[in-house]
Amino acid sequence: MEATHPTGFIVNCNPTPSLDYLILHRATCRSMTELPPGYEHWTHAFIKLCAEEKGELLMWSHTELGGAPSPCQLCDPMAPA
């Protein structure tokens, strides 16, 4: 996502999405571009939803889950770019 859509956004969540763990990131966030130690895959324990516009992901989360994702503490996707 980062290489082909650097201005995009990613929601990281459990395989069954819920508001308990739903984090919105910028595509360039280091937590989305650098695998954690011991991980070999990005989607092993989590799934990723990607979009060019964060509004698309916010609309999806409100429609499907009834609320908004939490912003990433590292990249603050809610702040203006």
Give pLDDT tens digits for 24-69.
999 999 888 877 777 776 666 789 999 999 999 999 999 999 999 9
59 falls within a domain: yes
Q: Is 10 strand, coil or helix?
A: strand
Task: Count the domains in the chain.
Answer: 1
Cα distance between residue 27 and residue 6, in whole Å: 6
Look up the domain containing 25 and give its range: 9-71
What SS3 state is found at 26? Answer: strand
Q: Is residue 77 part of a domain?
A: no
pTM: 0.83
H helix count then E strand count, the chain:
2, 4
User: Does residue 44 lie in a domain region?
Assistant: yes
Report helix, strand or coil for 32: helix
Does a structural domain hold residue 1?
no
Name the one residue in this structure whose structure tokens are 């939490």: 70
Whether 78 is covered by a domain: the verdict is: no
Asked if residue 38 belongs to a domain, the reply is: yes
